[in-house]
Amino acid sequence: MTLNSLENNWITEFPKPLIIAGPCSAESEMQMLETAQRIKESSAEVSLFRAGIWKPRTKPNGFEGVGAIGLKWLKKVKDEFGFKTTTEVANAHHVAAALDADVDVLWIGARSTVNPFTVQEIAEALKGTEKPVLVKNPVNPDLALWIGALERLLRQDVKNLGAIHRGFSTYQKTKYRNNPNWQIALDFRNQFPHIPMIVDPSHICGNRRGLAGITQEALNLGYNGAMIETHCNPDDAWSDASQQITPEVLAELLRNLQIRKSDI
């Protein structure tokens, strides 16, 4: 089996485009439930609720996530509001805990995709899972590492795969926190047209004002969805405050998107 022969029907179980929203980090039960409730009330388009439980911070002493207790809050979000849920896994312990808590979709973060040992460990822990696994591009602009991560998963019989384009870090200051380098993601899509591609405008932009433009651009390029960090009180978020938006601002962003008729 190769990446090209995958059917990837998992995405058809979600509304089109697949909209993933929720906070960068789970902070408290109240923050999770309030964010979920306000998303539910304002945006019918959101079908998957995200929250980072284990946070890969660039430097020590930052908030590194609430840990496994956050899985209980994700479960509450699922039970109370009917969202499917997703979180980042970065080692075999995370995978075991997330599978045990029945998180619906897992993602591998940009700092993990760069490390073949880490990806291999995660892939082995996931062996044979039917759950969709989304792989963010590596932080550096290296298409082969991105593809290699997906191949490692496939070798462990993980067949429901997707890719998240979250931009690439550069030393130069640009208007983006992570340069989109659209061509890399397009090369990926050309090689693997059946692997769903999700844009993550939040980590590309690093600010709020660019989110709508990047999301629209990705949809125009035929992407299958977007993951947008959404927080009940973004200014006070414990991570990525400058790029998170309220559920109501998210609703407006989604209302204004032009969605191709062929994509509905």
Q: Which does 110 bind (CB under 5 to 8 A by kind): ligand PEP, Mn ion, none?
A: ligand PEP
Positions touching Mn ion (CB under 5 A) are 24, 240
Q: Return the sign of the alpha-carbon dihedral for residues 155, 157, 163, 169.
A: negative
Cβ neighbours for 51, distance < 8 A, ≥ 6 positions apart = 22, 23, 24, 25, 26, 32, 70, 73, 74, 77, 85, 87
Give the residue from 189, 255, 261, 249 showing the smallest Cα distance to 218: 189
Least distance (Å) between residue 141 CB and ligand PEP: 14
Of 70 and 109, nearer to ligand PEP (C-beta) is: 109
- Give least dist CB 95 to ligand PEP, A: 16
109 forms part of the interface with ligand PEP (CB under 6 A): yes
Q: Are strands 161-165 and 197-199 parallel, antiparallel or unpaired?
A: parallel
- The candidate with the shortest Cα–Cα distance to 102, out of 88, 85, 89, is 85
Q: Does 110 bind ligand PEP (CB under 6 A)?
A: yes
**Residue 22, binding choice from ligand PEP, Mn ion, none, Cβ under 5 to 8 Å by partner class:** none
Residue 38 or 166: the one with the smaller Cβ distance to ligand PEP is 166
Closest CB to ligand PEP belongs to which residue? 109
Please identify, among the stretches 27-35, 104-112, 126-134, 204-212, the one whose residues bind ligand PEP according to the rule CB under 6 A: 104-112
Q: Contact positions toward ligand PEP, by CB under 6 A?
A: 24, 52, 56, 109-111, 136, 166, 203
